Amino acid sequence: MNLNIAVLPGDGIGPEIVNQALKVVKAVCRKFGHELKYSEAFIGAVAIDATGNPYPEETHNLCISSDAVLFGAIGDPKYDNDPLAKIRPEQGLLTMRKRLGLYANIRPVTTFPSLIHKSPLRADLVEGADLICIRELTGGIYFGRPQGRSEDGTTAYDTCIYTVEEIERILRLSYNFALKRRKKLTVIDKANVLSTSRLWRQVSKRIEKEYPEVSTDYMFVDNASMQLIQNPKQFDVLVTENMFGDILTDEASVITGSLGMLPSASIGIHTSVFEPIHGSYPQAAGKNIANPLATILSSALMFEYAFNLSDEGNAIRKAVEDSIIEKVVTEDIAERGKAFKTSEVGDWIAKRL
């Protein structure tokens, strides 16, 4: 098969981790006989430096004309510490998601038995936890307008907006995931306070009837944030709005032992994007210490979702698991004094394949 992918390393540790994923993708293509073509483009702070635009038109054209996008990370402290900056790196990621119509972000949370001891949670709570969080990605408070400040600068506002159509499509997609799994869907909202959440619940109650094989339950987000830690094994598929999904998945990464482990797939109307859930980790940039597994596991999702090649995806996941068993891992999950470098982990997994 011909695989034509766009590679967007972005900021901070992005280039280092994407490099490792690329090594792995190349190794899989060699092993399974695929023809790989890829081109790189700017996004985020590096794109602002090069062009003034965090998501240049050239980058968009490359994404739109590719079969899949492999993405690293975005963000730079020089913007975080300047609340008045008009152009921000994160706008690049948000604009890409919006323009590609990536309304669903699939974030699987799976535990590796050999890593259970790295979770700060008790082993008996997390052992065997296996859930998927589906985060709505192009609506809600991230995109609602108006957003900004009053003229005198003393008041700021963000607007959370959802339409029936947006809620229906993410729910249907979530039910289809649940149907292929343990047939349980938890809809997470804040319907006791927010009007958008009440619309989510109203629409869910209607759609629920179309999927009688799936058992649906509802949970307020504050309760869900506790349940995720207290009893993660109760969950199969979770679906929630954009900002709740952002927060809950960082929390859920603790179940697996490290934020550096969680991959994701952003899917929707145009080309899908495969991105680790973590950020640009600027303190580690250029040091060759960041965990590349979330990005490597995102490339496994790419083979599965963008190309329908599940053997390739499973081969990557198996090689990642082997690297953990053999303790070829970065400092966030290594035993004291036995950490491998980012590039060593990438080389090992590519060679294993």
Which positions lie near ligand IPM, rule CB under 6 A? 74-75, 90, 93, 246, 277, 279
Nearer CB in complex with ligand IPM: 93/214: 93
In angstroms, give the least distance from the CB of 347 to ligand IPM. Answer: 27
- Least separation, in Å, of the C-beta of 94 and Mg ion? 12
90's contact among ligand IPM, Mg ion, none, with CB below 5 to 8 A by partner kind, is: ligand IPM
Positive or negative, the CA dihedral 286, 289, 291, 296 is positive
Q: Which tokens sit at 177?
A: 């995931």
Residue 183 Cβ, how far from ligand IPM at the closest point, in Å?
27
Question: What element of type H or E holds 234?
Answer: none
322 is catalytic: no
Distances (CA, A) of 333 to 129, 142, 199: 18, 32, 41
One DSSP character per residue, 265-329 reads EEESSSS-EE--SS---GGGTTSS-S--HHHHHHHHHIIIIIH--HHHHHHHHHHHHHHHHTT--
| Residue 190 bears catalytic tag | yes
Query: Could you say which of 80, 82, 222, 311 is catalytic?
Result: 222
The residue among 267 and 349 lying less far from Mg ion, judged by its C-beta, is 267
C-beta of 278: minimal distance to Mg ion in Å?
Answer: 8
- Which is nearer to ligand IPM, 18 or 93 (by Cβ)? 93
Binder of residue 93, out of Mg ion, ligand IPM, none (CB less than 5 to 8 A by kind): ligand IPM
Provide, rounded to whole angstroms, the least separation between the CB of residue 277 and ligand IPM: 5
Residue with smaller CB distance to ligand IPM, 43 or 74: 74
Q: Which of 67, 250, 322, 347 is catalytic?
A: 250
Which H helix or E strand runs over 93?
A: helix 89-99
Helix axes 14-32, 342-352, angle to 10 degrees: 10
The yes-or-no answer on residue 246 being catalytic is yes
Q: Which residues bind Mg ion (CB under 5 A)?
A: 246
Q: Which residue is nearest to ligand IPM (CB)?
A: 90
**In angstroms, what CA-CA distances link 18 with 119, 130, 172, 212, 343?**
25, 25, 32, 41, 10
End-to-end alpha-carbon separation of the chain, Å?
18
Per residue, the 3-state secondary structure of 157-168, as one string, reads ECCCCCCHHHHH
Closer CB to ligand IPM, residue 3 or residue 45? 45
Active site residues: 142, 190, 222, 246, 250
